[in-house]
Structure 1
Amino acid sequence: MFEITRPPLLLIGLLLCTPVAAQDLVGKMGDIELRSSDLKAILDAQAPDARRQLATDAAAFERLVRSELMRKAVLNEARQKGWDKRPELQPLIERARDQVIVSTFVGNVAKPGEGYPSDEEIKQFYESNKAKLLAPPQYQLAQIFLPAAEGNDKAKVEEAKKKIGELSAKLGKSAGDFAKLAQENSAHKESAEKGGELGWVGEDQMVPEIRRVVSGMTKGEVSAPVKSAAGWHLIKLLDKRPAATRPLADIRANLIAEMRSRKAQDMERAYLEALSIKLPPTINQIELGKLQNTLR
């Protein structure tokens, strides 16, 4: 219902003009206030990846503040109208409360120790998973792009098709200057300014239509016109690198996160299995069948 994005930085202008007593006030919405302590509690509940994003993305941080202010404002109105006292909501509220307790308790039980994984365990995991840690082939590309998306004006689509054909012919017959033609004709401004250069692109980052073409090209070759959902492309292959195993140093943080996640899953599974042995569940199939029949 609400966009629970991860936070932007504090509203500096607001903080500079508020009295000392309100220096921890991050934002307001009418009488609703959001303070640094409130925001810190939200941040503490974020996943590590989300916290890392928020540390560098001021816009995302601000969206979180706005979203939380809106959530608090709606909650305030609902409470003023007694919505939280409605009888039919009580089981849902109680279940949501219980679920928070259960999930946080199990998460704590299944939390790997601070020292896990050790350097040796990381190295062993890396060595045993090298085949899965391949970086895909990398291609240094340049392009000339003409937009011709589905649903666009038919005449414009045909015009783009005709123009890309003319550019292709010009390159093919006279070995024309690809960079110059890209600067003059490509609609992708960022790359056009650099002679069409896109930099290094991983095979897994390309749309299928372009990936199929590029994978069979040789260095220096220019493709025939390629149609994608966005439009027409002429692709020049400047260089390429084969698939290669990523160095441990480059992916160490990701490996640690993966290993801790797997360890936590194993610990959770072991805890639940032990609990089932300690307190074996029994099911009344007759009563269960009666309840199931009420659903039909």
Structure 2
Amino acid sequence: MALSIKPYIENKERIHLIGIGGVSMNSLGELLLSRGVPVSGSDRLRTDVTARLEALGAKITYEHKPENVEGASLIVRTAAVHDDNPEIVRAHELGIPVMERAEAWGHLMRDYDNVVCLAGTHGKTTSTSMMTLMTMEAQMDPTVMVGSNLPAIGGTLRIGGKGCFVAESCEYCNSFLRFAPTVAVILNVEEDHLDFFKDINDIIHSFHEFAELTPMNGLVVVNGDDPHAMRSVAGINRKVRTFGTSATLDVYPTDVRDENGYYRFTVMVEGKKYAKVALSVPGRHNMLNALACCAAAEFLGVPGDAAER
């Protein structure tokens, strides 16, 4: 049977996180602690993030030692932690199951009605932040996992209800292929992480697989201005909604004004006016990020006025 984190959470068994100070690892630790799960972990350095987790009840060791895993029921590791790590070696000796961070998040996402996974070579954190603010404004009480500190949620994690999960989703090491999106957003696809991917075709293939994770009643949102992004959704049997600057796309801007680098525009979604947007972050790329978020938000039933604020 496939390994899942859920029984360990239900039974309140101790889960040990190797690399607990990492961005989405510390969010995972916080979520587990909020559910009453005993959490231990290890990392190289004490930081504000690990201090916060310790204050919440995590037991953290600042050295990777075999004995750290003893007594744990499950080990979660980051992709950066390899099989020769002394804690992984000891876990295997003791027969303690080991899973990767992205896999753990994927299991947790399946508890939510709507899961918006925002992916792309760049713009992920900004777009995840925009999507978070829209869903909060719409009173959707989202659970959020984002890659850097977001002042609106006071960190990298917001623990909300089970109706909506908003997640920054990284393609590196194919991490996002462990996720469970109901709405997959592809902001752009460019050559990146060539220490892992072979070439641009390999990257496009990975994003294609990501899009296919969506259920048949879900949605794939894709940048219609980006040829590589469009190739990644070619031939998929899902509802696809394109966004970009051309009026031939499903979601596009009209009445565009550039005010010293800050864009104001009206968002059209499938021929209807959806929202009037005035961005507080500069750059044309952020207009595209906002269009992507509006494409997803409208599908989820977020009213246009919630997207405007």
Same fold (TM over 0.5): no
Greater radius of gyration (CA): 1
Question: Higher relative contact order by CA 8 Å / sep ≥ 6: 1 or 2?
Answer: 1
Scaled by the length of structure 1, what TM-score is found? 0.24
Compare the two structures and name the one with the higher strand fraction: 2
TM-score, scaled to structure 2: 0.23
Which structure's residues are more often helix, by fraction?
A: 1
